[in-house]
Amino acid sequence: MSWLLAVPIAIPFATAVFAFLLRNGAAGRWVSVAGSAALLAASAVLMQAVLAEGVVAGQMGSWPAPFGITLVADLLSAVMVVITAIIALAVSVYALADIGPAEERLGYHALFQVLIAGVTGAFLTGDLFNLYVWFEVMLISSFGLLVLGGRAEQIDGGVKYVALNLVSTILFLTGIGLLYGMTGTLNMADLSIAVDGADQGLLTVVAMLFMIAFGVKAAVFPLFFWLPAAYHTPAFSVSAVFAGLLTKVGVYALIRMFTLVFDHDTGLTHTILLWVACLTMVTGVLGAAAQGDMRRILSFHIVSQIGYMVLGLALLTPLAIVGAVFYLVHHIIVKANLFLIAGVADRLTGGTALSRIGGLYASAPLLAALFLVPAFSLAGFPPLSGFWAKFLLVKAALEIEGWVIAAVALAVGLLTIYSMTKIWAQAFWEPHPEGREPRLSDLPAGQRWAMLAPIMALAALTVFIGLFPEPFVAFAERAAAQLLDPTDYVETVLGDRG
């Protein structure tokens, strides 16, 4: 079974090697597309297995857990890998049109695939130090992607990005060291048992280190500064994959650690998370309201939306976790798509600063229609995926009579509507200030479809989840049940010892 788990990591690595070797020609980009497609197939097989058999685990190097490194997939991991593969495929197709030969020669596709490998690795690992390694893989490759164009603002954003993330990584490493010092193990399943015997007070202190370290990755309040500083600078493909996936790894790690290992003092840890969640929602959406550039607005909305996911974790009721899982999946699709659309808008109108663009509704109605889907899904309008996501969380908050929390979640939704309609009114409705009539048909047919096909596919997915939420909610319920009762997870990883 272990190959099921190793393959989703190995495929992007192998793709990266080939893409790198072929970086000087057109073949490299098609290798990237093929690799992403293969990853999607592999992740589907993994998902199938997890659905059929429950948690799947594999011991790398055949060393029994907890002595070697364990890869493990429960439903949450599996769905995250699937969604990663979907985004990877969408973005690598989009990159056919978005990424120029200069960036390709510098190894764009290889860096992209390594990033994807890092993301899937982080979702699949069952070992805390191994998670750190995947964080490193993601950090270095994302830094490379971020500065690939070499423009001054990219370097500036990139340095802030890497500096703040490195500091958080140090904290993560310190946390790992201390946790090992307390429990003598790194295997997450083993940890979940071992922490019971540890000094609970110290454990809470260590939990805080992890909360901060993952909080930086997830871009929660007040640790999100690196994100708006960097995300608007690189190529749109890069923005899209960052927006969709990177912060979600942080959220995933928070969910994993704070359901599996650090659930001993939820009165403190999850109360802090609750505050963090609400403040993240609010500050993110306020930041967005202050922006006048499409990509900057969208970047701040990532922060705001992260708050919702953390909220699900913080409430820690079954329904709230269902909401968090559903939100993760919904958000990745929608957010990546919005950045892809921003890329097309940029190509057609010559920018993303809202005051300098416009006229897309009249001349590119297809793009306008495609924008409406993720934009209003993000704002939580029915019958799109975002509505269910918000609805689940608001319902969860009301169930525990968290009036203020529910009110914050709803009010943030209102400001999200404000931002989305701002983009809509200025980039789409308002005529272009220079009188340009940006048309999709101005793009060469090949490029046009390379950009539109992924956007259409992701939009269709958003609508599909919106119209047929039942299987997705049912899935999220199963995933949440596994998270809240990790018996299957622990037993599968540790075998007889569990």
By CB under 8 A, the residues from 419 to 438 that bind other proteins are 421-422, 425, 428-431
- Residue placing its CB nearer to other proteins in the complex, 40 or 114: 114
Positions in 315-344 near other proteins (CB under 8 A)? none
Q: Are 46 and 81 in contact (CB under 8 A)?
A: yes
For 64, which DSSP code? P
Count, residues near other proteins per rule CB under 8 A: 126
Is 168 a residue that touches other proteins (CB under 8 A)?
yes
Nearest to 332 by CA among 274, 297, 286, 377: 377
Residue from the set 52, 201, 445, 496 that interacts with other proteins by CB under 8 A: 201
Closest CB to other proteins among residues 222, 433: 222
207 is an interface residue for other proteins by CB under 8 A: yes
- State which of positions 346-405 bind other proteins (CB under 8 A): 361-362, 365, 376, 381-383, 387-388, 391-392, 394-395, 398-399, 403
* Backbone dihedral angles phi then psi of residue 72, each to the nearest 5 degrees: -150, 140
List the one residue from 40, 87, 211, 490 that touches other proteins (CB under 8 A). 211
Least distance (Å) between residue 485 CB and other proteins: 18
Question: Is 10 near other proteins (CB under 8 A)?
Answer: yes
Contact between 226 and other proteins (CB under 8 A)?
Answer: yes
- Selected from 126, 413, 454, 486, the binder of other proteins by CB under 8 A is 413
Report the alpha-carbon distance of residue 281 to residue 391 in Å, rounded: 15
Stretch that binds other proteins, among 27-35, 174-182, 247-255, 439-447 (CB under 8 A): 174-182
Asked whether position 498 contacts other proteins by CB under 8 A, the answer is no
State the burial class of residue 290 (Cβ atoms within 10 Å of its Cβ: 0-12, 13-18, 19+): exposed
90 versus 130: smaller Cβ distance to other proteins: 130
Decide if 402 contacts 323 (C-beta within 8 A). Answer: no
Q: Which residue type, as a one-letter code, is found at position 174?
A: T
Site for other proteins in 271-290 (CB under 8 A): 272, 283, 286-290
Residue of the chain from 63, 446, 460, 497 that contacts other proteins (CB under 8 A) = 63
What token pair was written down for 271?
């109360």
Among positions 478-497, residues that touch other proteins (CB under 8 A) are none
Asked if residue 242 lies in contact with residue 211, where contact means CB atoms within 8 angstroms, the answer is no
Residues 57/492, Cβ–Cβ less than 8 Å: yes
223 contacts other proteins (rule: CB under 8 A): yes
Nearer to other proteins, 413 or 486 (CB): 413
End-to-end CA distance of the chain: 19
Sign of CA dihedral 351, 353, 356, 357: positive
Backbone angles phi, psi at 60, to 5 degrees: -70, 140
Distances (CA, A) of 238 to 245, 246, 290, 449: 11, 11, 24, 19
Cα–Cα distances in angstroms (integers) from residue 221 to residues 115, 256, 277, 281, 339, in the given order: 25, 19, 8, 8, 22
Choice between 344 and 397, CB closer to other proteins: 397
Reference 35, options 47, 49, 22, 25; nearest CA is 22
3-state class of 73 per DSSP?
strand
Nearer to other proteins, 43 or 90 (CB): 43
Asked if 110 touches other proteins (CB under 8 A), the answer is: yes
Phi, psi for residue 298 in degrees, rounded to 5: -65, -35
Choices 247-255, 340-348, 413-421, 453-461; region in contact with other proteins by CB under 8 A: 413-421
Piece of 16-24, 41-49, 336-344, 442-450 that binds other proteins (CB under 8 A): 16-24
What's the closest the beta carbon of residue 229 comes to other proteins, in angstroms? 7
